Structure 1
């Protein structure tokens, strides 16, 4: 697979062309990806998500689907934000623009996501049971409910970044 995000300060996850997905570790075995006998696979359901983010039921929980474009994605715990690399000359340039992007973002409507704990971010085409053996990122989220909002921002002349921010509810 072509790597667009050069190795640097963060680990980046990319897909083979479809959406990325964050699935709670406890329900990973229930995500079949594109490997299913069903006519409408889990991967097909992920591809049908409209907008920047959406939720899909998985087991007794839900997965967060990163829609729109298959941009390289990482997580910034200090901002509780997934960062999606749409355009930038370097990781350093992209990350330097994140604070301004967060301040100026025109956020879309929120979805509420309840998680039982840590999640794995990976290509939605992979079955959850094999995700740990593929390119993935583990995000150590505390159990609870989160408000999730997303935006695409152009904080610099050659920098476009997608933001998916989590805000813990009622903890």
Structure 2
């Protein structure tokens, strides 16, 4: 399985509902709010009542596993070979920490928080998280199968 890893220019990633992309102001205002999040993940309110998820910590390469609804952040590993298998094997035994609740109207888009939402697809790379409308708790865990490999993972748990 080939994975597509996204990078930022040094700041956090932001995950915004596609319907609210135009509301993300990047370095013109929202970026500073995203940088204030000191947890692994945090939720920010947008002007129309939509919510955005901030992935903080370090500016780690990040990818999405849609079949597990999991964002994977690369802390360290010797190579990309076998990463998908390492993550799949680690998910069932990961020690999950409960996280914030995110409400969404559906499809989400992850990109570098420094950019305007309107620049997604033109000036900045992005990835789509296909989630249905609803409320999701975003739990976090580490997958560290050996001393040379570490990934931070965030899963979307649908709430009733």
TM-score by length of 2: 0.92
**Gap regions ≥5 residues in structure 2:** none
Q: Map residues 61-76 of structure 1 onto 2, 5 A cutoff.
A: 61-76=50-65
Measured on the aligned residues, the alpha-carbon RMSD in Å equals 1.4
Is 1:49 the counterpart of 2:37 in the alignment? yes
Match of 1:5 in 2: none
The match for 2:73 among 69, 84, 90 is 84
Distance (Å, rounded) in 1 between the aligned partners of 2:70 and 2:23: 25
Is 1:153 the counterpart of 2:146 in the alignment? no
The match for 1:129 among 109, 114, 118 is 118
SS of residue matched to 1:15: coil
Match of 1:119 in 2: 108
**Residues 95-119 of structure 1: CA deviation (Å, up to 9, x unaligned):** 2211343233232232111110111
Is 1:13 the counterpart of 2:3 in the alignment? no
Deviation of residue 47 (structure 1)? 0.8
**Gap regions ≥5 residues in structure 1:** 1-7
The match for 1:30 among 20, 23, 29 is 23
**Residues 131-170 of structure 1: CA deviation (Å, up to 9, x unaligned):** 2211111121111111111122312231110100011122
TM-score by length of 1: 0.86
SS of residue matched to 2:14: strand
- Size of the aligned set, in residue pairs, is 158
Question: Given that residues 20 and 122 in structure 1 are in contact (C-alpha distance below 8 angstroms), is that contact kept between their aligned partners in structure 2?
Answer: yes
Distance (Å, rounded) in 1 between the aligned partners of 2:90 and 2:53: 22
Question: Given that residues 98 and 137 in structure 2 are in contact (C-alpha distance below 8 angstroms), is that contact kept between their aligned partners in structure 1?
Answer: no
